[in-house]
């Protein structure tokens, strides 16, 4: 086994009361890709900061191999006094690092390098922080929610960039697809302890459920043994008139073990307060258009949304998703066309912007509107503390100021406030931001049981695939197209992901492209970029690994009894084989393209 580049031993940390981390052990070897999972508040971000050397623990040791470089991507980057994003990114480079890579990454992430950090949006700040973390090509990458505030094209670009990286990685993310695609090892932080499974995230949840079920069985056995020992204490000692001190000590130890056992936290209980049914027609839009400063945001768009539909709106940041949602809900009037809303609509809205929460208000005041200790949920009065517990808030947090809550807690608070209102239409703008995986599971289940209509904006591909019945996608120049099914179904129908151009736009640009002679003259100074050279070197190994994976999957699928014996395994292997073949085809196409470019440049 390779020696670890980074090792944490016997890490302990307590912020008053129950230990947040208790005897945590973590080792990361070269090239390993770990995902760190656990509930909000379990200490994941704190552990990552300890690994980065940013905070001290109460006990334990941190070891980094001499000469190994560590880069940490925080949830909220600190730009300090950097005047521009380029200054911020290059300030993280070492003496031997290539400054061109900083510019390359900023360009790939849609930034010029001249932006003032003080004026950046949340998504732009996240992209600048990603560029700073990746630019030095570190030996170890510690990534805390890298996909937060990113749109789908950037998420897919980041996945590809990390896939080609040689760095060891520890990732925290709520994006299931991102973790499943990149992780090879899963570490689970639960009740202060860390458990490890040498499998990727796609197999984590089944393993976790087995662990919790076995733990529950062990606790049941312990409870029964305590009852038996207490029975002996009451009757056996008296009957023999002799105290067996060994058994008395064993009973005391059993009781202590029962007291020391930290039960899993309760589960979130989400339920939307439902109003009376709406009419069959919820929204009808005919030839709707909207522009700002001459720029078309929505052009000649028509759709018909009926009761029970679940519609996802996806696209790059700045493409007009929130504008389209506002048009469909009647919050914004179109420049042209007509939007007709159905009868008896009761809308509940969850905004993406957490700034709508007053940081000075308490959790209870946010839910009650500052009026008493009760909250109306679906027309029924409930005590605010009881309603808070449905969303995993402790009773003592009722008087906690919103400003000190974590991102996940603020997300749950906004959900609690939105779902208390009776509705038959839920309008959700980025509902998955900052939510842990357990809360996401319950949110998905709640939306599945919801009898009304759901309109949502999300960049979470797995969430979209599980929830929506159709997606609306921008095609450029204000044109939007509706596709049946989820995100994966859209890809199959559209033939291109959101990072690539729609066919019509690509054809238009091809027609407007300069003649070959002009292109050749411009390309006279063309050189292979840093990333292109790296891809030429690493793609053959990637293709070889994919070929071995495909061969192994096909060998498993060759078992004639597999489908009848384990249909789920057959379907998972078929899906994995298809994904691996798609990745291999893309890698081969990219390598051939780069090899031809290299030969062309060297032949000039």
Annotated binding site: 38-45, 315-322
- Alpha-carbon distance values, 504 to 320, 477, 495, 512 (Å): 19, 11, 12, 13
Contact 543, 587 (CB under 8 A): yes
- Other Cβ atoms closer than 10 A to 145: 23
Choose among 372, 360, 368, 432: nearest CA to 174.
432
Choose among 197, 62, 55, 57: nearest CA to 140.
62
Distance CA 446, CA 314 (A): 21
Strands of the sheet with 295-306, listed across from one edge: 295-306, 281-292, 336-341
User: Three-state SS for 188?
Assistant: strand
- Alpha-carbon distance values, 337 to 227, 285, 302, 368, 471 (Å): 73, 8, 9, 40, 21
- Other Cβ atoms closer than 10 A to 191: 17
Chain position carrying tokens 């209870």: 364
Distance CA 570, CA 558 (A): 10
Give the residue numbers of the binding site for ATP: 38-45, 315-322
Choose among 484, 446, 411: nearest CA to 270.
446
Distance CA 482, CA 468 (A): 12
Choose among 338, 330, 597, 306: nearest CA to 470.
306
Distance CA 3, CA 28 (A): 9
Choose among 269, 310, 307: nearest CA to 415.
269
| Element housing 137 (H / E) | none
Please report the DSSP string for 58-117 in residue order. Answer: SEEEEEE-TT--EEEE-SS---TT-SSHHHHHHTT--TTS-HHHHHHHHHHTT--S---G
Helices and strands, counts by H and E, the chain:
21, 20
- Other Cβ atoms closer than 10 A to 384: 23
| Element housing 514 (H / E) | none
Distance CA 427, CA 329 (A): 8
Contact 85, 106 (CB under 8 A): yes
Cross-strand partners of 301:
288
User: Three-state SS for 286?
Assistant: strand
DSSP 423: B
- Other Cβ atoms closer than 10 A to 20: 22
């Amino acid at each position: 086994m390779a020696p670890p580049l980074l090792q944490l031993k016997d890490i302990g940390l307590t912020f008053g009361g129950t230990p947040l981390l208790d005897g945590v052990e973590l080792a990361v070897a070269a090239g390993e890709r770990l995902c760190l999972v656990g509930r909000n508040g379990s200490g994941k971000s704190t552990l990552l900061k300890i690994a980065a050397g940013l905070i001290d623990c109460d006990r334990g040791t941190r070891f980094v191999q001499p000469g190994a470089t560590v880069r940490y991507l925080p949830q909220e980057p600190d730009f300090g006094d950097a005047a521009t994003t380029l200054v911020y990114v290059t300030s993280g480079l070492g003496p031997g690092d290539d400054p061109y890579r900083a510019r390359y990454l900023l360009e790939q992430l849609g930034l010029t390098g001249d932006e003032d950090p003080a004026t950046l949006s949340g998504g732009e700040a996240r992209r600048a922080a990603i560029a700073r973390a990746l630019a030095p090509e570190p030996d170890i990458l510690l990534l805390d929610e890298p996909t937060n505030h990113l749109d789908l094209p950037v998420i897919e670009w980041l996945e590809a960039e990390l896939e080609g990286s040689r760095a060891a990685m520890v990732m925290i993310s709520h994006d299931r697809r991102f973790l499943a695609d990149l992780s090879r090892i899963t570490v689970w932080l639960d009740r202060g302890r860390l458990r490890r499974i040498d499998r990727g995230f796609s197999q984590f949840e089944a393993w976790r459920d087995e662990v919790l079920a076995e733990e529950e069985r062990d606790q049941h056995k312990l409870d029964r043994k305590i009852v038996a020992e207490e029975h002996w204490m009451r009757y056996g000692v008296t009957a023999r008139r002799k105290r067996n001190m060994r058994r008395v000590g064993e009973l005391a130890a059993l009781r202590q073990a029962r007291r020391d056992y930290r039960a899993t936290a309760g589960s979130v209980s989400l339920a939307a307060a439902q109003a009376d049914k709406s009419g069959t027609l919820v929204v009808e839009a005919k030839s709707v258009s909207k522009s700002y400063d001459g720029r078309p945001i929505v052009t000649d768009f028509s759709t018909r949304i009926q009761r029970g539909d679940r519609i996802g709106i996806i696209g790059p940041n700045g493409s007009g998703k929130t504008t389209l949602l506002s048009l469909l809900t009647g919050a914004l009037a179109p420049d042209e066309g007509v939007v007709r809303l159905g009868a008896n609509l009761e809308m509940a809205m969850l905004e993406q912007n957490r700034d709508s929460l007053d940081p000075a208000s308490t959790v209870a005041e946010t839910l009650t509107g500052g009026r008493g200790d009760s909250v109306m949920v679906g027309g029924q009065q409930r005590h605010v503390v009881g309603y808070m517990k449905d969303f995993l808030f402790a009773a003592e947090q009722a008087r906690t100021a919103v400003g000190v809550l974590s991102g996940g807690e603020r997300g749950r608070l906004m959900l609690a406030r939105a779902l208390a209102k009776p509705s038959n239409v839920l309008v959700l703008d980025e509902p998955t931001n900052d939510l842990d995986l357990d809360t996401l599971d319950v949110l998905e289940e709640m939306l599945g049981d919801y009898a009304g209509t759901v309109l949502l904006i999300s960049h979470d591909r797995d969430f979209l695939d599980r929830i929506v019945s159709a997606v609306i996608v921008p095609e450029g120049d204000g044109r939007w197209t509706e596709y049946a099914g989820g995100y994966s179904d859209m890809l199959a129908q559209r033939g291109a992901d959101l990072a690539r151009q729609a066919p019509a736009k690509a054809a238009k640009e091809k027609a407007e492209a300069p003649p070959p002679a002009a292109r050749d003259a411009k390309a006279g100074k063309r050189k292979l970029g840093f990333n292109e050279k790296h891809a030429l070197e690493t793609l053959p190994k990637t293709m070889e690994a994919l070929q071995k994976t495909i061969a192994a999957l096909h060998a498993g699928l060759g078992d004639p009894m597999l489908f009848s014996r384990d249909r789920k395994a057959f379907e998972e292997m078929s899906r994995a084989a298809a994904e691996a073949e798609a990745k291999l085809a893309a890698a081969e196409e990219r390598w051939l393209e780069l090899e031809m470019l290299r030969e062309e440049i060297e032949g000039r």
